[in-house]
Copies of this chain bind each other. A is one copy, B any other.
Amino acid sequence: MLTYRECLKQAIQEALQGDERVFLLGEDVGRYGGAFAVSKNLLQEFGPERILDTPLSEAGFVGAGIGAALGGMRPIVEIMTVNFSLLALDQIANNAATLLHMSGGQFNVPLVIRMSAGIGKQLAAQHSHSWEPLFAHLPGLRILSAGTHQDARYMLAPALLDPDPVIIFEYTSLLNLEKELSEAADAVDISKASVRREGKDISLITYGTGVYKALEAAEELATAGIEAEVLDLRILRPLDDDTIMASVSKTNRALLVEDASRSVSISSEVSTRIMEKCFYELDAPVARLCGAEVPIPYPKHLEDAAVPQPAQIVSMVKKILQHD
């Protein structure tokens, strides 16, 4: 059994051991041990050249990461949490994402950015963002979401092999959760979505914190004789249409689940693509369960009410199935 935190840490350790061009930089990754203790003791293990504490300068150290990548290094930039990522978004969108195309193919940016995201720790409006949709809109980026321990452990390696900028979303609310890891699939594919549970009645399409919630709901539904397929998108950009359409073509129904607020979300893109590619196979309109369109409040009961819960998934699925 490993915690999600431990998975993240092992992935970073492995990366640092395997390639001396790799180094980790970000706020408090070293002496503090990482805001969430993910990089605890890595400074002691690898030294200050490999584990670089930065000042509070998100735009600055992300930009420096881009430069270091151009210079031949393989930086892992940690933005402590997604909540601070907007300060670096210009660097990501106007530099990291555009340099290769704009330079006519001359300058690629092999940069990996990790950030902790999501709701669940009662951190209130400025510290509970789920901004995957913002990043997934930007051409030139590859956006990964580690919704499982497996991906927390094995997504970093292929991300570092990618010649272009990759952003990995990790989830604060999963850090202490323990799971069994199946043995390392060699070279995890970061272009494919993954069916986490097979089912024939409906496709629950989700990512991030939605994955375990959907699996929990699927178990519950099974007791009611409903076989829900759980599809973890994993790669939010570019989306893996084949896997999505294969699942929907099989189940003919889909419920999209995500914590991010509803409008202009990952779910809206997925729903639209299903409409475009599987319209005639749908037995019911594709439905969404998304985050409420509101700054996230501090109290637990309001926080819980702001994002989809397994019970809602269950009742929503039942409603959809009664539909016909």
| Interface mask (A267-288 → B, CB under 8 Å = 1, otherwise 0) | 1110110011001101011111
> Do B264 and A137 touch (CB < 8 A)?
yes
Point out which of A89, A260, A272, A288 has the most chain B C-beta atoms below 10 A from its C-beta. A272
CA distance A267 to B268 in the complex (A): 9
Chain B residues with Cβ below 8 Å from A268 are 264, 268-269, 271-272
- Whether the pair A101, B297 counts as a contact (CB closer than 8 A) is yes
C-alpha gap A276/B280 in the complex (Å): 15
Is residue A87 within 8 Å, beta carbon to beta carbon, of the partner chain? yes
- Residues of B contacting A238 in the complex (Cβ-Cβ under 8 angstroms): 263, 293
Is the Cβ of B97 less than 8 Å from the Cβ of A136?
A: no
Our pick among B59, B133, B139, B288 for the contact of A295 (Cβ within 8 Å) is B139
Determine whether A93 belongs to the interface, using a CB cutoff of 8 Å to chain B: yes
Contact of A239 among B83, B263, B275 (CB under 8 A): B263
A97 touches B295 (CB 8 A): yes
Q: Is A98 an interface residue (CB 8 A)?
A: yes
Tell me the smallest distance from the CB of A44 to a CB of chain B, in Å. Answer: 33
- B279 lies within 8 A of A263 (CB): no
Q: Are B94 and A126 in contact (CB under 8 A)?
A: yes
A37 at the interface (CB under 8 A from B): no
- Contact partner of A271 among B129, B133, B272, B280, CB < 8 A? B272
Chain A to chain B contacts (Cβ below 8 Å), 30 pairs? A59-B87, A84-B90, A86-B86, A86-B89, A94-B126, A97-B295, A98-B125, A101-B294, A101-B297, A102-B124, A133-B264, A134-B134, A137-B260, A137-B261, A137-B263, A137-B264, A137-B265, A139-B293, A238-B293, A263-B269, A264-B269, A267-B272, A268-B268, A268-B269, A271-B272, A272-B286, A272-B288, A275-B275, A275-B286, A279-B285
